[in-house]
């Protein structure tokens, strides 16, 4: 019920601003089309692959050691302790890399969103918009006339700005 009241309030508010320039942007489409996102995704993929190569190398050494241990009929205590320490080390590093990757993704997404918000605000001011709404298929914008969809225009604008081009 509260959502319905909020929705009615928003509709009433925007109806009262009928003379103001209003448009919306498909947030997901813009986010995926933003060149800065593509740059950071490529950077993230390189970091992730580098970390995975380290893990693969450590796991290879661990598996090689396990094979050598299996071949022996008697295992001394030092070898057993060394193997267990290596196994724990590989597991710890792998978990740390997973956490670091998540932190990096979050950080990159925050950077992308901050930059997009700045460019959208700039675009809105330069083009005389009073409101630019975002649609994300989660109910924030239930309907928008396709004539009000400026996603493609904003995508071009933010990518030009990201490339350092002066936009009129």
String of b and e for 12-51 (b: at least 16 CB within 10 Å)? eeeeeeeeeeebbbbbebbbebbebbeebeeeeeeebeeb
In the chain, the number of structural domains is 1
φ and ψ at residue 44, rounded to 5 degrees: -60, -45
Beta bridge partners of 132: 23
What confidence tens digit (pLDDT) does each residue in 122-146 have?
Answer: 999 999 988 898 888 776 665 667 7
Residue 6 lies in a domain: no
pLDDT above 50 for 155: yes
Residue 2 lies in a domain: no
- The pTM score is 0.75
Residue 1 lies in a domain: no
Residue 8 lies in a domain: no
Average pLDDT over residues 142-158: 83
Residue 4 lies in a domain: no
Residue 10 lies in a domain: no
The pLDDT of residue 90 is 96
* CATH classification at residue 79: 3.30.910.20
Distances (CA, A) of 63 to 9, 41, 57, 67, 88: 63, 32, 10, 6, 13
Residue 92 lies in a domain: yes
What confidence tens digit (pLDDT) does each residue in 1-50 have?
Answer: 444 334 434 444 454 455 678 898 999 999 999 999 999 999 999 999 99
Q: Give the Cα separation of 102 and 56 in Å (integer).
A: 19
Residue 167 lies in a domain: no
């Amino acid at each position: 019920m509260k959502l319905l009241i909020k929705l009615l309030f928003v509709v009433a508010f925007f109806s009262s601003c009928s003379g103001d320039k209003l448009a919306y942007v498909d947030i997901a489409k813009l986010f995926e089309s933003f060149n800065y996102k593509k740059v950071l995704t490529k950077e993230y993929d390189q970091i992730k692959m580098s970390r995975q190569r380290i893990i693969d190398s450590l796991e290879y050494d661990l598996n090689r050691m396990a094979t050598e241990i299996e071949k022996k009929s008697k295992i001394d205590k030092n070898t057993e302790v060394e193997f267990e320490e290596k196994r724990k080390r590989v597991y710890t590093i792998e978990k740390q890399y997973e956490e670091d990757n998540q932190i990096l993704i979050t950080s990159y997404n925050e950077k992308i969103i901050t930059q997009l918000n700045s460019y959208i605000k700039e675009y809105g001011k330069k083009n005389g918009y009073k409101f630019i709404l975002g649609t994300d298929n989660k109910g924030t914008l239930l309907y928008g006339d396709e004539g009000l969809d400026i996603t493609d225009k904003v995508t071009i604008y933010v990518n030009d700005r990201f490339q350092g081009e002066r936009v009129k």
